[in-house]
Chains A and B, each alone.
Chain A
Amino acid sequence: MENAPAFSPFKDSLDSSRSYGTGQVRQMAKLARTAMRAETGVAAQTMIPSDAKQEATGTGNEAARMTTLLSAFQAARDEAIFAELFRYYAPRLKSYMRKLGAAEDIAEELAQEAMASVWRKAHLFDAGRAGAGTWIFSIARNLRIDAFRRQHRPEIDFDDPVLVSAEPATPEVALDRDRQAIAIRAALAALPREQARIVHLSFFEDKPHAQIATELGIPLGTVKSRMRLAFQRFRKALGEQTS
């Protein structure tokens, strides 16, 4: 049953499109920015369904606290602060690696390695760009790509002189990263079950789309259009959380 979700069939007509217009993507980005600014007042309080709000707010506070802790560790390199980050993140990192198919001992090893990277790379953390959870997730992701596939991960360099910036940089965006996480959680909670499942699969299955297609016995184009639909719904839900 786990392997054969009851997807409803969708036409593949979306798949022949070559690229997305700026308007469409800009709309998505606007949602993302709005999400970052959300939660400051009445709007978010009233828009989020109560159980999702409960959960979202709880983890939002925790996420914000962890970001503060990581910034404090960055400044002081204090072992006690690191221990607190470790107690929160190491078991989740291990769980993430297990989800992606790592055996118990490998998952333990990778979780420890990820936390050691947090120690070593703390000076690279930029609280203006991402919260602690986001930054540590990206460390773990790159570590497992390296460990599972022995591949280099091409990464953007935010100090690259080639970088093209958005015209009006909005300083308030950076301040509200943690609020974005809250809105995201609420948007996820508002997704229909099938779409939520696809979102989870996208992050916790280390499988190319082609392999997922083979396993589900559906065409590759269908996998892609279902994913696209799931993430469109996610974006829409996010918009509803923050509008």
Chain B
Amino acid sequence: MNAQTPASRRSAQPDHHPGEELIVAYASGALDEANALAIASHMTLCPVCRDAVALYETLGGSLMDHLPPAPLADGALIETLARAKAMPATSQPRSSLAAHGTAPLLPAPLRHYVGGDIDAAKWRPLGAGIHHMPLINGDSVTARLLRIGPGRSVFDHTHGGTELTVVLDGSYTSQGQHFTRGDIEVADETVHHRPVASMKGACVCLVVTDAPLRFHSWLGRLMQPFIGI
């Protein structure tokens, strides 16, 4: 390991994974955009889960193979050939990234939403040393980047639905467990969640929430209408 690589950027494999049903839902296409973003980000940093998704994509291909073939309209092949040739072949090179001095911090699927690497993030203050950048505002599911200052914590909260947190930089502790770069935490309605960032530096995470959070402190409840979490 290069001595100059900051601890948070080391390419160690994550210890915390999303669990089978989220991996399957990603592979099958059942996940909404925001949750899929969390899984794609984790996968970039986790070869074990990449293998798992590959396995289920192979399963998907195999299931499709065994569907009873549905007859196509007459001339479908000719139509398809015409359609294929009407558009230029997608010719972009496989690598979507121009030569970069240092490796970026954010996985490619996230850079797409941020509009660049972490230095392109447009942070908005939420108070108490916390900043965020909303990325996806779906009907019920939202994805945002969250930056928690060193030693700071997000207000104690539970979730109406499920919250996925992918650590991108720094680390935090929640419920006695430590989460570092690449780790994903899945918190459902049964979890009292109060992540505390490490004292060593700010913690940057992708947070995907599928129902409004429920804060337990009067300050959290008071803040909620204003910050729109």
Contacts and interface: CB of A to CB of B under 8 A. Distances in A.
Interface of A: 15-22, 25-26, 28-29, 32-33, 35, 59, 62-63, 79, 82-83, 86-87, 90-96, 98-99, 107-108, 111-113, 115-116, 119-124, 129-131, 133-138, 140-142, 144-145, 149, 151-166, 177, 180-181, 184-185, 188, 199-200, 202-210, 221, 224, 227-228, 231-232, 234-235
A95 B70 contact: yes
Given A19-B185, A161-B104, A181-B58, A166 B47 contact: yes
B60 A203 contact: yes
A107 B52 contact: no
A131 B64 CA distance: 13
19 contacts: A15-B188, A18-B185, A19-B16, A19-B18, A20-B19, A22-B13, A32-B52, A112-B76, A115-B80, A130-B57, A133-B64, A154-B36, A160-B97, A164-B13, A166-B51, A184-B58, A202-B30, A227-B20, A231-B20
A26 B47 CA distance: 10
A155 B39 CA distance: 9
A131 B83 CA distance: 24
Interface residues of B, number: 91
A232 B20 contact: yes
B61 A131 contact: yes
Nearest to B211: A210
Contacts of A121: 89-90
Listed from nearest, the 3 A-B pairs whose CB atoms lie closest are: A91-B69, A133-B61, A119-B84
Given A156-B108, A159-B97, A232-B20, A82 B81 contact: yes
Contacts of B89: 119-123
Tell me what chain A mostly uses at the interface: helix, strand, loop, or mixed.
helix
Nearest to A203: B28
A202 B1 CA distance: 41
A161 B103 contact: yes
A155 B40 contact: yes
A25 B193 CA distance: 24
Interface stretch (B121-129, B146-154, B175-183, B212-220): B175-183
Contacts of B19: 17, 19-20, 228
Contact of A231 (B21, B37, B48, B186): B21
Given A120-B87, A162-B108, A164-B44, A19 B184 contact: yes
A131 B16 contact: no
Interface in B94-135: 94-97, 100, 103-109, 112-113
Contacts of A82: 81
A184 B59 contact: yes
